[in-house]
Structure 1
Amino acid sequence: MSSMLSNRPEPRSAALMTTAMSSGLFMALAAGGAAEPQSVFPGGHSDNATETIVVLGHRPSALDIARVRAEITAGGASVIDTADIAQLANVKLSDALSAAPGVVVQDFFGANDQPRLQIRGSGLQQNPVERGVLFLQDGLPLNRADGSYVVGLVDPRQSAFIEVFRGYTANRLGSTVLGGAVNFVLPEGDAAGTRAAVEVGEYGHAFASVQTGWAGERWSALAAASHTERDGFRDYNGSERSNAHLAFTVDWNETVETRFLGGYVENSFDVAGPLNIVALEADPTQVWTGPEIVGGVPRNPGPNVVRDQPRRDTTLYWIGSRTTASFDRHSLDAAVSHVQSDDSFMFPIPSGERVTDGGDTNLMLRYAYAADNGALPLLEMTTHISVGSADRDYYLNAAGHRGALFGTGELEAATYSVNINANIPVAGDFTLSPSLSYAHAERRFDDLYENATRPTLAFSPMNPDMRLPDGAIATVDYSYDRDYSEISPALALSWSPNERDYLFLAVSHTFEPPSHNDLIATVNGTPNSSAGRPNPGNPGLQAAVFSTPTLRAQSGETLEVGWRGQRGELRFDALAYYSWLDNELLNLRDETGASLGAINAGETRHFGIELGASASVTDRFTARLAYVYQDFRFHDDPVRGDNNLAGVPPHVVNIALNYAITPRLALGASSHWLPDATPVDNLNELYNDAYATFDLRAVFRPTDTWSIFLEGRNITDETYASSTLVVDVARPDQAAYLPGDGRAFYAGLSLEF
């Protein structure tokens, strides 16, 4: 039954932790694995299921176990039950992660496109965000070997639950990012049953999914597929995504299991682009037509979306296996996977079309030794290797069509990491958790372009549809070879004074090398001319086509303190952190939105508060809150002073309420609220206004087999910018605002048997 129809829609993880602590469940949790969906929390899975059933009266689910481990992780960690989004329409990454403390997702174009996802600011200033978070599917990486990813590929509704690790807690997963990691966990075949769902709504929205599972005495299997498409809220705003997953789990004996996984994603969407504030308020459904020339002066800078027709088409295949073995207090974990992707991104004319076609192979080995009691291992050691290569081609954007080739080469990347960590009981109820990580990263680009010149094209700024004579500039070799290495220690002290509270203090070092998309970028384009042509009317002017800066890895020290607990029916997870960062990676854009390439900032400071809370107010009424406070600043920067970093909303509030009128009928309400303005540029001269949206929904389940739902999104029809471009320097008439969807209504039907 959907969580929305349950009297207590969220599992009482704190209560489960209490039961576990008093019953000895921790001993069962600390052992290695038996046929459960593959969480990446330390400790593996229970192989003492019989003892657990006797003690608790039932076998705890993989979700229960993951929640317990999150509760006693000395750092930012949380688990999301996807039952909470099962009865939502047009589910996006922002919906799936709205309950996760410390995670900020800002929608771009209203669907499965390229939302700005950031945890503690990592990857924040990329447009689109392609770095800063490690994405995993059942513990297998979906990122490329250089750390980059294509956001929007995952259908969260196909997961049983989602694990979120913030900051240094992701180091043990092979993460070499400052933000953290997100692991999407598929259900096990023997628990999946058969489910089907369809939904329709405004703006041409349609969604369909099916999932089924099978199980034998020592095996289980899962198959899932979904398809979503919509025309979109804006004039040029179509999108379409298809997902499919297969999983097969074999219990070879009482101590060893293997899970084989495979998946396919095909995702396409139009890039509707930004508007300036006047156009946003006048008609948020329109798309921009580029700058105007008035009296010889350009006004209203921004991309010409109507002419350039930017879009992105991505196909991704992945296959892998993960084997877990448990012997007494010892557990071994080994995983191997391969990800093959083909990504075509047609940017506006200043950048052209970027095509990346390649594959990445990942290997993980892990050993853990269980303590006498405790859900986390006494000792854990992991090794991660990720190696990949890709062909990278650059084509001119010729009025929305693929033009001449102006760049080609081969990208190579490798990332190696080793982590050792421990959870050592000390005096009283204190636990000391030291960890040490070492990471080495290699980034290489072999420029294979052989022609003597690189072509350029341009359109007349006075008449943007009139193509000017083509140009050519002398070819320069843009090959590079970069290596990065760093040791990242961490130390945490946690205290469990009673069965309701868990407090911790942690200090850590984190390290993030640049991705290829930081190390090579198209430059010197304008809204009416291609890269390498800063003056549309001068085809012979020689200028660089690419920027390949010698970037340093960004790194930082973080101090964080947290408190998780329960008071009656109130459960909370509160954390505050302060980070001293060096060489933060910034991807700069000018006032027209054209790329300036990446730089290392000097010193920056990130201060944040991450709060999650939920309560069963009555047996029928529940409430949930996720709040993020962010104060990210430059520190004594010669140009930007102590300004706020662009693109960082100071406050983000997500609230969800649920009232079960009867056991079969429930009403829900939710709000996404940014109560303060967000700087668009690093000089803090242009801001995105505060806004709030409100959603309402009703779910009716006539039988245990099927249910229907109705949902209204943005019911007040608020006109707002859900996100913006992030630029270094802005001007008031700049097209920088990305409109959020207007009011929309949806209806859906789901079957479960």
Structure 2
Amino acid sequence: MQRLRRCVWLPTLFLPLAAQAENATYQAEPLVVTGSRYQASGWRLPFSVNRVDAEQATLGKPGVNLSEALGSVPGLVVQNRQNYAQDLQISSRGFGARSAFGIRGIKLLVDGVPLSNPDGQGQAATFDLDTLERIEVLRGPFASVYGSNSGGVIQLFSRDGEGAPKVSLDTSQAAYGSSRTRVAAEGGNDKAGFIVNRSHFETNGYRDHSGAILDKTFAKLTLYPDDVSKLSLSFSELDQNDTQDPQGLTWAQVQSDRRAAAPSALQFDTRKTVDHRQFALNYERSFTAGTWQSTLYSGTRRVIQYQSIPVAAQIPASQSGGVIDFERSFHGIGNRWIQSFDLVSSLLTLTTGLDYDHSRDDRQGYENFVGDTLGVKGNLRRDERNEVTSLSPYVQAAWQLGKLDLQAGLRHSQVAFDVDDRFLSNGDDSGSVTYRELTPTLGASYALLPDLNLYASWGKGLETPTLNELSYSGPDNSFGFDLKPATSEQIEVGLKARLADATSLQLALFQIDTDDELVVESASGGRSRFQNAAQTRRRGAELALESQLSDTLRSSLAYTQIDATYSKDFTSNGRLIDSGNRLPGIPARTLYGELAWQPLDGFSTAIEGLYRSELYLEDSNTAKAAPSYALFNWQARFEQKVGAMTFNQVLRIDNLLDREYIGSVIVGDGNGRYYEPGPERAWYVGAGVQYQFD
């Protein structure tokens, strides 16, 4: 690894000058690449970026989904739906809060490869936390340097295989019929490294009709051809068959039986099957002048989803049925060149690159009934070829002038949608639309004191409609080619400080103004139509505090406050939505805290707490808001080493005080089924063994 640190990125040019400008203790700061594109201390960057290492993200946790790892990051709201058919709901400073399924409006990357489609819709379920090295989370204006639909950036990095070969086996049991088994092998030297991981998870689910089985595979081969280059090849796979979808509940149904599935979910046996496979290649090479980085990826995704759209609602010819069936192929490439210029008293680093992403869907829709039998594939109602292409050249500059750091970026985002309608009995919805926008960013950071940095940043962003939002937003449920992208302007000011040798603090204040925000125009028959009808403003503050209180005690605190409102009247579902109404799905206050204690080698314990204020559910703010709640979780981990073998055991209790709460919400649901209840007190036990060869 020492050879790699010398040859990849730009430390050979960066560190000598950086040492002149900052106190030596700054070198111990965790390094990040998200936002700057090159390895840099998050301390000096003029924007909000947090790094979560694997130990904090995974130890003592089930390792099932990303919600376990991101609680300590301010500005993020991660809602576990307890519904594996719809994935997590993640928002960053409000971006993505409206997503009815999966993740939208946030750029999700794994080892530089997007898990978000070019239209901005993505899924987090494909990543395996077992192979995690670290997570980097970027919020604010500089998220737009990652292109359209980047209200925030969550970038995950898998570790490289290192050291003597080792094999491991873990198993766990948990409440609600949940179990998980994992087997892995990894190792490496200065020539090559490997890691292979396979996991199987199944659960009956907290709620009725919420069972799931997930099989994940991840394999990675890392090669070091010479002293100045690195090549990584990876493969990931997710098999998720017949995952049950309990759907949301009305408030009356929550009060009657919070663990129930929606009656329509049982009536139509709502479920989803996903088969996802992806290959990726990452190459980095250092030259005398700079560093070349290249990423290539390709994959396929098959989805079959049975929905609960009523039979009567499928009578109109424009209706596309209640079964979604598509096969997607996708690929992309990202290339960048990073070069530094030593200007005697300053250091200028330029990055220029080009990202290309493409997806092609062979998409059908079918009736979800045959005669009187519901929840089966019936007559064909939709047959399309959908293509989405994104092409984005960009340039970034970072200039270090002693205590002052300046950052600037400019990106041209172009996202093209093309629809070839082959089901012509209800008219031809074929067509195309292309969105283009220049998104500049500017930032400055100043070391006012050796332990205090002040910064400010500004930027513009672009959020295109997703393919799903375009699909039914035209006349008579046709393709909504007239929808415009939402454009935003963001301002952020903040400080980064060390209050003591082992305590760090980050404080950020931000404002986001958005034009042409996408909102629901109407929702009926299981379909939502979208429109550009709103201007919004989000103002808020984020605080992150981490401290090593002693050799054995560590604490972390994350607080977010956000005032997210409509700043212009508009009409939705035939109702006037007043300026000043709150944006749904965005809590005004979120607080997370963790206290971890490791009194001796082989034993650690931690308690974490989460508070979330009430959530509005739709634009008029008249529906019953999801109440605020506070939860506490506790875990303990034990480890023993016997020769070449290492044993571990984990005990965990979630929702320690057995509170009833709404874990997530479905924003703007046309049937009033907004609520997805979270589980009561739940236990988890796990054990594992690892053998390391000589």
| TM value normalised by structure 2 | 0.87
| Structure 1 residues 677 and 48: alpha-carbon distance in aligned structure 2, compared to 1, 3 A threshold | closer
Matching of residue 401 in structure 1 with residue 376 in structure 2:
yes
Q: Report what 2:206 is aligned to.
A: 233
CA positional deviation for 1:556: 0.9
Distance across 2 between alignment mates of 1:708 and 1:128:
34
CA positional deviation for 1:588: 5.5
- In the TM superposition, 1:237-316 aligns within 5 A as 237-268=210-241, 269-289=243-263, 304-316=264-276
| Structure 1 residues 516 and 126: alpha-carbon distance in aligned structure 2, compared to 1, 3 A threshold | same
CA positional deviation for 1:151: 3.7
- In the TM superposition, 1:108-119 aligns within 5 A as 108-109=81-82, 113-119=86-92
Distance across 2 between alignment mates of 1:564 and 1:111:
38
| Structure 1 residues 347 and 609: alpha-carbon distance in aligned structure 2, compared to 1, 3 A threshold | farther
- In the TM superposition, 1:589-608 aligns within 5 A as 590=523, 594-608=526-540
Between 1:270-279 and 1:366-375, the stretch displaced more is 366-375
Q: Report what 2:318 is aligned to.
A: none
Describe the superposition over 1:96-139 as per-residue Cα deviations: whole angstroms up to 9, x where unpaired: 11122221111112658522111122232121144211222211
| Structure 1 residues 580 and 155: alpha-carbon distance in aligned structure 2, compared to 1, 3 A threshold | same
CA positional deviation for 1:589: 5.8
Q: RMSD over aligned Cα, in angstroms?
A: 3.0
Q: Report what 2:136 is aligned to.
A: 163
Between 1:184-193 and 1:155-164, the stretch displaced more is 184-193
- In the TM superposition, 1:336-415 aligns within 5 A as 336-349=296-309, 352-372=322-342, 378-398=349-369, 399-415=374-390
Describe the superposition over 1:612-659 as per-residue Cα deviations: whole angstroms up to 9, x where unpaired: 221122322221112222221111214212211111111122221112
Distance across 1 between alignment mates of 2:528 and 2:283:
45
CA contact (8 A) 2:31 2:42 kept: no
Matching of residue 576 in structure 1 with residue 509 in structure 2:
yes
| Structure 1 residues 377 and 83: alpha-carbon distance in aligned structure 2, compared to 1, 3 A threshold | farther
CA contact (8 A) 1:212 1:222 kept: yes
Distance across 2 between alignment mates of 1:356 and 1:204:
31
Question: Which of 628, 636, 661 is residue 568 of structure 2 equivalent to?
Answer: 636
CA positional deviation for 1:552: 0.5
| Structure 1 residues 265 and 91: alpha-carbon distance in aligned structure 2, compared to 1, 3 A threshold | closer
Amino acid at match of 1:566: R
| Structure 1 residues 46 and 315: alpha-carbon distance in aligned structure 2, compared to 1, 3 A threshold | farther
Distance across 1 between alignment mates of 2:669 and 2:359:
32
Listed as ranges, the gaps of 5+ residues in structure 2 are: 34-38, 311-320, 571-575
Q: What SS does the aligned partner of 1:370 have?
A: strand
| Structure 1 residues 395 and 44: alpha-carbon distance in aligned structure 2, compared to 1, 3 A threshold | farther
| Structure 1 residues 82 and 589: alpha-carbon distance in aligned structure 2, compared to 1, 3 A threshold | farther
Amino acid at match of 1:573: Q
Matching of residue 484 in structure 1 with residue 435 in structure 2:
yes
Q: Report what 1:556 is aligned to.
A: 488
CA positional deviation for 1:504: 1.0
Q: What SS does the aligned partner of 2:368 have?
A: strand
Distance across 1 between alignment mates of 2:508 and 2:14:
33
- In the TM superposition, 1:317-328 aligns within 5 A as 317-328=277-288
| Structure 1 residues 636 and 144: alpha-carbon distance in aligned structure 2, compared to 1, 3 A threshold | closer
Amino acid at match of 2:236: G
CA positional deviation for 1:82: 1.8
Distance across 1 between alignment mates of 2:188 and 2:195:
9
Describe the superposition over 1:177-225 as per-residue Cα deviations: whole angstroms up to 9, x where unpaired: 1422222211111158543321111111111223322324422222122
Q: Report what 1:436 is aligned to.
A: 410
Q: What SS does the aligned partner of 1:403 have?
A: coil
CA positional deviation for 1:162: 1.2
Describe the superposition over 1:644-687 as per-residue Cα deviations: whole angstroms up to 9, x where unpaired: 1111111122221112243322221112211x221111101121
Distance across 2 between alignment mates of 1:593 and 1:627:
39
Describe the superposition over 1:144-194 as per-residue Cα deviations: whole angstroms up to 9, x where unpaired: 233322342322232111122224433444x31142222221111115854
Q: Report what 1:214 is aligned to.
A: 187
| Structure 1 residues 46 and 401: alpha-carbon distance in aligned structure 2, compared to 1, 3 A threshold | farther
Distance across 2 between alignment mates of 1:46 and 1:586:
49
Paired-residue identity, %: 20
| Structure 1 residues 701 and 110: alpha-carbon distance in aligned structure 2, compared to 1, 3 A threshold | farther
| Structure 1 residues 480 and 219: alpha-carbon distance in aligned structure 2, compared to 1, 3 A threshold | same
Higher strand share: 2
CA positional deviation for 1:486: 0.6
Q: What SS does the aligned partner of 1:544 have?
A: helix
Amino acid at match of 1:74: P
Amino acid at match of 2:352: M
Matching of residue 616 in structure 1 with residue 554 in structure 2:
no
CA contact (8 A) 1:113 1:151 kept: no
Q: Report what 1:38 is aligned to.
A: none
Matching of residue 717 in structure 1 with residue 666 in structure 2:
no
Distance across 2 between alignment mates of 1:595 and 1:544:
11
Distance across 2 between alignment mates of 1:644 and 1:611:
22
Distance across 1 between alignment mates of 2:91 and 2:542:
13
Q: Report what 1:707 is aligned to.
A: 648
Distance across 1 between alignment mates of 2:54 and 2:347:
24
| Structure 1 residues 258 and 344: alpha-carbon distance in aligned structure 2, compared to 1, 3 A threshold | same
Describe the superposition over 1:271-316 as per-residue Cα deviations: whole angstroms up to 9, x where unpaired: 1111222321332111122xxxxxxxxxxxxxx1110222222111
CA positional deviation for 1:366: 0.5
Matching of residue 682 in structure 1 with residue 628 in structure 2:
no
Matching of residue 664 in structure 1 with residue 602 in structure 2:
yes
Q: What SS does the aligned partner of 1:423 have?
A: strand
CA contact (8 A) 1:75 1:169 kept: yes
Question: Which of 635, 645, 661 is residue 697 of structure 1 equivalent to?
Answer: 635
CA contact (8 A) 2:144 2:151 kept: no
Describe the superposition over 1:429-483 as per-residue Cα deviations: whole angstroms up to 9, x where unpaired: 1122121111111011111114x3xxxxxxxxxxxxxxxxxxxxxx122223111
- In the TM superposition, 1:97-136 aligns within 5 A as 97-109=70-82, 113-136=86-109
Between 1:185-194 and 1:308-317, the stretch displaced more is 185-194
Amino acid at match of 2:111: D
Q: Report what 2:518 is aligned to.
A: 585
Matching of residue 334 in structure 1 with residue 294 in structure 2:
yes
Amino acid at match of 2:595: L
CA contact (8 A) 1:388 1:414 kept: yes
CA positional deviation for 1:63: 6.5
Amino acid at match of 1:631: D
Distance across 2 between alignment mates of 1:710 and 1:233:
19
CA positional deviation for 1:341: 0.9
Between 1:543-552 and 1:115-124, the stretch displaced more is 543-552
CA contact (8 A) 1:713 1:743 kept: yes
Listed as ranges, the gaps of 5+ residues in structure 1 are: 1-24, 34-42, 290-303, 453-474, 524-542
Q: Report what 2:393 is aligned to.
A: 418
